[in-house]
C-alpha cells in the first residue's frame, strides 16, 4: 500500500479504501432484503424514520458516524503515505496505533476503576 501511495498519490489510496465502504453497502442491502422477506418492507431499520416521521436526531447521528468513518479511512491512508515519505517503517506506525488502544483502556481503568 505504501509503494502504491508513493507512486500514484493519495487519490489512488482513497479508491483502494473504498472496498470497505462497498462491503458495508452490500451488508446493508442484504439486511434490507432479509427484512423484506420477513416483514414485507425493503428497509434496514436505522431508526431514522420512526412511525412514518423523520427523526432528525438519529439522522444527524447517522451522518456523524458516516463522516467519522470516512475520516478514519482518510487518516489511515494519509498516515501510511507520510510515513513512507518520511522513511519510517509502516509497521512501526501501525504498532503505535495499536498501543493507543491499550493506553486508553489503562487510562479508563485508572479514572473509572
> In sequence order, what are the residues at sequence separation of 6 or more whose Cβ sits closer than 8 angstroms to the Cβ of residue 83?
2, 89, 90, 92, 93
Residue 13 CB burial class (10 angstroms; 0-12, 13-18, ≥19): buried
> What residue ranges in the chain does DSSP mark as E strands?
49-50, 53-54
- Can you give the pLDDT at residue 85? 83
- What is the predicted pLDDT for the residue at 9? 59
Report, as an integer, the average pLDDT of 70-91: 81
pLDDT at 1 over 60: no
61 exposure class (CB count in 10 Å sphere: 0-12, 13-18, 19+): middle
Average pLDDT, the chain: 77
pLDDT of residue 110: 92
For residue 55, the tally of other CB atoms under 10 A from its CB is 15
pLDDT at 73: 77
Amino acid at each position: 500500500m505504501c509503494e502504491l501511495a508513493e507512486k500514484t498519490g493519495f487519490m489512488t489510496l482513497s479508491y483502494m479504501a473504498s472496498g470497505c465502504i462497498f462491503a458495508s453497502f452490500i451488508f446493508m442491502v442484504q439486511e434490507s432484503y432479509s427484512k423484506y422477506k420477513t416483514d414485507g418492507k425493503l428497509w434496514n431499520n436505522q431508526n431514522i424514520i420512526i412511525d412514518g416521521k423523520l427523526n432528525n436526531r438519529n439522522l444527524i447521528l447517522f451522518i456523524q458516524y458516516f463522516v467519522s468513518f470516512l475520516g478514519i479511512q482518510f487518516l489511515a491512508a494519509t498516515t501510511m503515505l507520510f510515513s513512507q515519505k518520511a522513511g519510517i517503517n509502516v509497521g512501526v506506525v501501525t504498532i503505535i496505533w495499536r498501543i493507543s488502544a491499550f493506553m486508553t483502556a489503562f487510562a479508563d481503568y485508572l479514572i473509572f476503576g
